[in-house]
A and B are shown apart, each in its own frame.
Chain A
């Protein structure tokens, strides 16, 4: 019986985007067991969202994550406008969809760049980042900020996108399309990428169904959990959409699913810009006073299904619960890594696309047994 030895990666490591502690139990160079330790980016977001007006809570929810900020807006607004029965005009619905699809493109290009960096191909990493930089300039024109957009309120939107803004967005997408087609051909045919990704991190269809996986990880195993197709919301009711599916279930299939979704999102932005009605948005605040009620709602983030539960009592929020897609896929991380070589571990973990800051946002302990610092105390540097 061989003994296993502990091989730690992290919590701080140059190849990780966010702090994450991987403990691998290794025999020779084969991984026998893995344990994932979390808790390094925990900020207490759900505790800060109690006792606030609904629009104020919306602006705090958006800042849970930097890469996927518009998907939290869409889920929160779908919930609140659902149980309060607020109707939104067509123009507002399509404006929100344009920002959400552009955000999906920028998140997948960032992921593709870091994946190529894990494989050691730094030139492709720089090329993907160059294309992504042009999309961030489009966000600067449309919404006023490069990452945290904050361009929506309950029932309405803060500003109207003019004709020139939409033409700038479409011409930027045209200018990056040719380069992206050439990079996708490289990922599909290059020998190094194929040898290091095909057959690694295999997830079977039966496992994906038992554990309830979401997002592109499930779509690479031929299971469709896409919220935009199963229960359309806001502007998606007016657009035609195809989900990208594959059957192999390994790291190469997950890469190709995400790169193909970039082209599908470009198609959706073009459809939305052509269908947007003329006129302007009236930024009246507040559109309707919300007093009581609770509800649930989901939206499709770049990593999967994002679920919110909101309860309002006497005009202020009493409980907001967020269940992000990385938390749903977390149970599969140790299983996908068992039996692989140590050199395959960064490729497998990166192909499952963890977003750690979305996941760690939990509430405070009410019985006073452990210490939790709020953001005011952290800023002042002392505890009361």
Chain B
């Protein structure tokens, strides 16, 4: 997983578009999409299997805060380093 985070550090000049959580046959994958100057989107995929923690990318792209917070609230994956982790965004209070 550390190699893919090195690749994300190279995208500092691009704009982060979305972070998606997908259930596949082999396990769980997280897709990151970036917009650069070309007409197509750049895609980076992480396969996390059964793990529950992924390093947050908020130091490089500040607008990842709310996208990662949504995945934490709905699916339970934690992103240590995210300022929104643990806060309520969409679902009701307990």
Chain A interface (Cβ within 8 Å of chain B)? Answer: 38-39, 42, 210-212, 225, 230-231, 296, 298, 305, 307, 309, 311, 318-319, 321, 323, 327-328, 330-331, 360, 362-367, 370, 372
The residue that A212 contacts in the complex, of B23, B41, B63, B92, with Cβ under 8 A, is B63
Supposing A330-B66, A331-B63, A365-B74 touch, asked if A38 and B89 sit within 8 A by C-beta, the answer is: yes
Q: How far is the CB of B12 from chain A (nearest CB, A)?
A: 11
Q: Which residue of A lies closest to B15 (CB)?
A: A212
Say how far A326's CB is from chain B's closest CB, in angstroms: 11
Interface string of B68-94 (1 = CB under 8 A from A): 001000111000000000001111101
Q: Closest CB-CB distance, A33 to chain B, in whole Å?
A: 14
Q: Can you report 9 residue pairs joining A to B where beta carbons are below 8 Å apart?
A: A38-B89, A212-B16, A212-B17, A225-B15, A321-B20, A323-B18, A331-B66, A363-B74, A363-B75
- Whether, in the assembled complex, B49 has its beta carbon less than 8 Å from a beta carbon of chain A, the answer is no
Total residue contacts A-B, CB cutoff 8 A: 69
Of B17, B67, B75, most A-chain CB atoms within 10 Å: B17
User: In the docked arrangement, what's the CA distance between A370 and B75, Å?
Assistant: 11
Chain B 21-35, CB within 8 Å of chain A: the 1/0 string?
011000000010100
Contact across chains for B20 and A39 when beta carbons are under 8 A apart = no
| With known contacts A39-B89, A321-B20, A323-B18, A362–B31 Cβ distance under 8 A | no
A382 CB → nearest B CB, Å: 18
Q: Closest A-chain residue to B20, C-beta based?
A: A321
Q: Tell me the bound Cα distance from A372 to B73 in angstroms.
A: 13
B40 close to A231 (CB less than 8 A) = yes
Contacts of B7 in A (CB 8 A): none
Give min CB distance, A316 to chain B, whole Å: 14
In the complex, which of the residues B18, B62, B91 contacts A39, with contact meaning CB atoms closer than 8 Å? B91
Q: Whose C-beta in chain B lies nearest to the C-beta of A371? A: B92
Residues of B within 8 A of A296 (CB): 33, 41, 43
B65 touches A (CB below 8 Å): yes
Interface residues contributed by chain B, number (CB under 8 Å): 29
Chain A residues contacting B94 (CB-CB under 8 Å) are 370
Which residues of chain B are near A366, meaning CB under 8 Å?
Answer: 23, 75
Query: In the complex, are the beta carbons of B33 and A231 less than 8 A apart?
Result: no
Q: B66 touching A327 by the CB < 8 A rule?
A: yes
- Residue positions of B touching A, CB distance < 8 A: 15-18, 20, 22-23, 31, 33, 39-41, 43, 61-63, 65-67, 70, 74-76, 88-92, 94
User: Contact at B20–A211, with CB atoms within 8 Å?
Assistant: no
**Most chain A beta-carbon neighbours within 10 Å: one of B40, B67, B74, B88:** B74
Q: Lowest 8 A-B CB distances belong to which pairs? A: A231-B39, A323-B18, A212-B15, A321-B20, A39-B90, A212-B63, A211-B63, A319-B22
Measured between C-beta atoms, what is the minimum distance from A319 to chain B in Å? 5
| Known contacts A38-B90, A296-B43, A321-B18; A211 and B62 CB within 8 A of each other | yes
Are B92 and A307 within 8 A (Cβ)? no
Chain A residue contacts of B20, Cβ below 8 A: 309, 319, 321
Complex contacts, B63 vs chain A, CB 8 Å: 211-212, 328, 331
CA distance A93 to B66 in the complex (A): 35
**Inside 8 A of A42's CB, which chain B residues have their CB?**
90-91
Q: How many Å lie between the Cα of A225 and that of B16 in the bound state?
A: 13
B32 to chain A, nearest CB (A): 11
Residue from B23, B33, B74 in contact with A307 in the complex, judged by beta carbons closer than 8 Å:
B33
Nearest CB in chain A: distance from B47 CB, A: 15
- Inter-chain CA distance A364–B76, complex, in Å, is 11
Q: Shortest Cβ distance from A221 into chain B, in angstroms?
A: 14
Cα of A366 to Cα of B18 in the assembled complex, Å: 21
Residues of B within 8 A of A319 (CB): 20, 22-23
CB within 8 A of B92: which of A39, A211, A305?
A: A39
Q: Are A367 and B76 in contact, CB atoms less than 8 angstroms apart?
A: yes
Q: How far is the CA of A38 from the CA of B22 in the complex (A)?
A: 24
